[in-house]
């Protein structure tokens, strides 16, 4: 057992933790960044040769100039973006309703897609006219936060086919069944995209880093001056009148004036806090945010529409598919579903069966993915709050407790669940710990 002292210890090496480390390190504070995995990036993971010959994003991927914090970082480090072709210009759309497949030209269903998506988020402007201030209209927020996305879909005066379409689209975006995701989460995405569904599609799924999310996480980390320790999961955080003791699972004790906890809220319960966290934080850690779906990369061979788009209701293990890359003899597809724990992304036969329910027989060569739902350091995918969680718990999740401060994309005011939200919260946590705890310690 050893003991090493820092000004700040940051727990979690995703974009929030790395950003907080940079903000503090560049101010002259001595910072240690502890990450449980053997890599940085958290729920983003740009993996070399994920499919033979192709480096792919197994986790969070997309960015946009409507996401101000991440776009500022793109500018700072001179990074380039490329497009996901299936989002920008699909040729055909495959849809499922009542167990029946339908394949049409995308132009024939594009307007319907936009219409049913917008109906789900009607009234968003009254709640989120300033979307980075989520509590600006608390009464309006409380009223809609009672509802799930499925509640809103069920209330719409539209055909069952259109309800199935809305369910499939929002289920994929929610990374969970629509009954488990608060409609507020959908409204926030829409509001942050200037109340325009097509802009929202672009913001959440069209533009990605040319050299992967790793290009940005490494740039920020290299700029942080922090002592970065990988494969160092934390067991406990104990506050006392003199500072904070952080004990790793290996038994090493590190001390600091303060700590930034930048881990997903679904994993908060895996760290022992003394004193215990507030009841609000414990409640959300036990309830969990809803996002727990799957992301599967699929290499297919054959003469497919170039590119194509497919969607099915959220009772399918795979319910949303778009083209990412096109070759002379096939494509690489990105497939999403609402139940990651029961989706084996490496099982070609399972993936073939599930895709067949949407699009018919496909010649699948290879598949790959990562089970974020069962990953101990994430225990879920991107953050999508359940009904009631936003109004009841978001502000509490953001509050410092003594010498312990909190960050993470899950608790962002703006792009909750995105790289942008992680950076936003990392900047906020760095500012708060400087202002409230460190003072003139430099």
Q: Using the 8-state DSSP alphabet, how is residue 273 labeled?
A: E
**Interval 222-277: pLDDT, tens:** 999 999 999 999 999 999 988 999 999 999 999 999 999 999 999 999 999 999 99
Q: Which residues does the annotation place in the binding site for FAD? A: 234
Q: Which residues does the annotation place in the binding site? A: 234, 336
How is the chain split into domains, by residue range?
Answer: 3-43+212-289+378-438, 85-205+293-371
- The terminus-to-terminus CA distance of the chain in angstroms comes to 28
CA distances from 306 to 62, 208, 288 (A): 21, 20, 39
| pLDDT above 70 as % of the chain | 98
Contact 10, 262 (CB under 8 A): yes
Contact 385, 225 (CB under 8 A): no
Question: What is the CA 56 to chain-centroid distance, rounded?
Answer: 16
**Interval 115-169: pLDDT, tens:** 999 999 999 999 999 999 999 999 999 999 999 999 999 999 999 999 999 999 9
* CATH fold match for the domains 3-43+212-289+378-438 and 85-205+293-371: no
We find that the CATH architecture of domain 3-43+212-289+378-438 is 3-Layer(bba) Sandwich (3.50)
C-alpha–C-alpha distance, residues 260 and 130, integer Å: 27
Buried b (16+ CB within 10 A) or exposed e, 105-115: ebeebeebbee
The yes-or-no verdict on residue 92 having pLDDT over 90 is no
C-alpha–C-alpha distance, residues 50 and 94, integer Å: 27
Contact 271, 235 (CB under 8 A): yes
Q: Using the 8-state DSSP alphabet, how is residue 4 labeled?
A: E
Contact 438, 23 (CB under 8 A): no
* pLDDT for residue 437: 82
Buried b (16+ CB within 10 A) or exposed e, 380-418: bbbbbbbbbbbbbbbebbbebbebbbbbbbbbbbbbbbb
Q: Using the 8-state DSSP alphabet, how is residue 437 labeled?
A: I
Q: Which residues does the annotation place in the binding site for substrate? A: 336
DSSP codes joined into one string, 22-72: HHHHTTT--EEEE-SSSSS-TT--EEEEEETTEEEESS--EE-TTSHHHHH
Fold of 85-205+293-371: Polyamine Oxidase; Chain A, domain 2 (3.90.660)
**Interval 370-398: pLDDT, tens:** 999 999 999 999 999 999 999 999 999 99
The alpha carbons of the chain give a radius of gyration, in whole angstroms, of 22
């Amino acid at each position: 057992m050893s003991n090493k002292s820092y000004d700040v210890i940051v727990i979690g090496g995703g974009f929030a933790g790395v950003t907080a480390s940079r903000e503090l390190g560049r101010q002259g504070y001595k910072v240690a960044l502890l990450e449980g995995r053997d890599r940085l990036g958290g729920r983003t993971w740009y993996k070399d040769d994920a499919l033979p010959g192709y480096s792919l994003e197994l986790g969070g991927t997309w960015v946009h100039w409507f996401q101000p914090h991440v776009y500022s970082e793109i500018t700072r480090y001179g990074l380039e973006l490329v497009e996901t072709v299936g989002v920008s210009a699909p040729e055909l759309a495959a849809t499922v309703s009542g167990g029946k497949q339908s394949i049409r030209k995308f132009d024939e269903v594009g307007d319907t897609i936009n219409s049913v998506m917008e109906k789900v988020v009607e009234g968003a402007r009254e709640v989120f006219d300033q979307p980075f201030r989520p509590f600006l209209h608390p009464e309006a927020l409380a009223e809609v936060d009672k509802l799930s996305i499925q509640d809103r879909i069920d209330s719409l005066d539209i055909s069952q086919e259109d309800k199935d379409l809305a369910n499939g689209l929002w289920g994929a975006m929610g990374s969970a069944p629509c009954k488990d995701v608060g409609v507020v989460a959908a409204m926030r995405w829409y509001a942050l995209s200037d109340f325009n569904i097509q802009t929202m599609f672009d913001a959440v799924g069209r533009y990605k880093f040319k050299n992967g999310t790793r290009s940005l996480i490494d740039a920020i980390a290299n700029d942080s001056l922090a002592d970065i320790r990988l494969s160092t999961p934390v067991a406990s955080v104990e506050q006392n009148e003199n500072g904070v003791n952080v004990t790793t699972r290996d038994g090493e004790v590190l001390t600091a004036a303060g700590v930034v906890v930048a881990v997903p809220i679904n994993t908060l319960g895996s760290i022992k806090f003394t004193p215990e966290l507030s009841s609000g934080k414990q409640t959300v850690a036990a309830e969990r945010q809803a996002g727990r779906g799957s992301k599967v990369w699929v290499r297919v061979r054959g003469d497919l529409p170039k590119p194509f788009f497919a969607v099915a209701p959220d009772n399918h293990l795979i319910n949303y598919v778009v083209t990412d890359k096109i070759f002379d003899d096939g494509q690489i597809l990105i497939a999403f579903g609402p139940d990651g724990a029961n989706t084996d992304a490496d099982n070609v036969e399972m993936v073939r069966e599930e895709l067949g329910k949407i699009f018919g027989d496909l010649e699948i060569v290879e598949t790959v993915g990562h089970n974020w739902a069962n990953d101990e350091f994430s225990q879920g995918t991107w953050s999508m709050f359940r009904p009631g969680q936003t109004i009841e718990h978001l502000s509490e999740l953001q509050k410092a407790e003594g010498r312990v401060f909190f960050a993470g994309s899950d608790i962002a005011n703006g792009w909750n669940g995105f790289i942008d939200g992680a950076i936003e919260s990392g900047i906020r946590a760095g500012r708060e710990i400087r202002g409230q705890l460190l003072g003139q310690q430099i």
